[in-house]
Amino acid sequence: MNIRKIIYLFLVAVFLSIVFVGIPLLLIFLNNYFNLLVYNNLYLKIIGVAFLAAGLSVVVYSTILHIKTGRITPLPVIEQPKQFIVNGLYKYCRNPMYLAETFIFLGLFFLLGYILLFFYPMAFFLIVNMLVIYLEEPEMQKKFGKQYVEYVKKVPRWIPKIVNSF
């Protein structure tokens, strides 16, 4: 393994640690520090587990699709796409991985009950939405041209289409 791949993997590990562990732990700490609301409802915890399971499944599935294209990380900021993926979940939604990550954060909120965790999925989604619209999509259009433009016309950005003829 060359040094570039090691650096990529290190950056991915740091990024994922901050986003999926560091920020939620900070919000839990702040929630406790300011003595904010923490609910304890079994039904919401079950919903949280379902959201987490669904989100994690989609992230693992999407990561495998990206790895099969020759990338070592699905993060476009770290490594540009080498191949245009239009199969699997990408037939129904252009950003299933980001959507799944939002579901993971919603799942954490429902499962753990800390009120500050409620705001994290919303903030995450808004930031990702801006990154997708202003950075990722223009880059994809530049790199994949007409094929990507046609894909955008047929597949929605966020809300999956159940029936798709792509």
Assign 95 a pLDDT band (cuts: 50, 70, 90). Answer: very high
* Cβ–Cβ under 8 Å, residues 117 and 102: no
Q: Is residue 162 part of a domain?
A: no
d(CA 166, CA 93): 11
Give residue-wise pLDDT tens across range 96-155. 999 999 999 999 999 999 999 999 999 999 999 999 999 989 999 999 999 999 999 999
* 114: DSSP letter: B
- pLDDT computed for residue 161 by the predictor: 77
Residue 107 structure tokens: 């799942």
10-19, 39-48, 59-68, 82-91: range with highest mean pLDDT:
39-48
* Residue whose entry in the numeric block shows the structure tokens 């990380």: 73
Instruction: Return the percent helix, strand and coil in the chain, to nearest 5.
Output: 70, 0, 30
Domain that holds residue 88: 3-154
Number of domains the chain is built from: 1
Q: Which residues pair with 114 in a beta bridge?
A: 38
Q: Is residue 160 part of a domain?
A: no
Mean pLDDT of 16-27: 96
Q: Is residue 166 part of a domain?
A: no
Q: Is residue 34 part of a domain?
A: yes
Work out the mean pLDDT of the chain and round it to a whole number.
90
pTM confidence score: 0.89
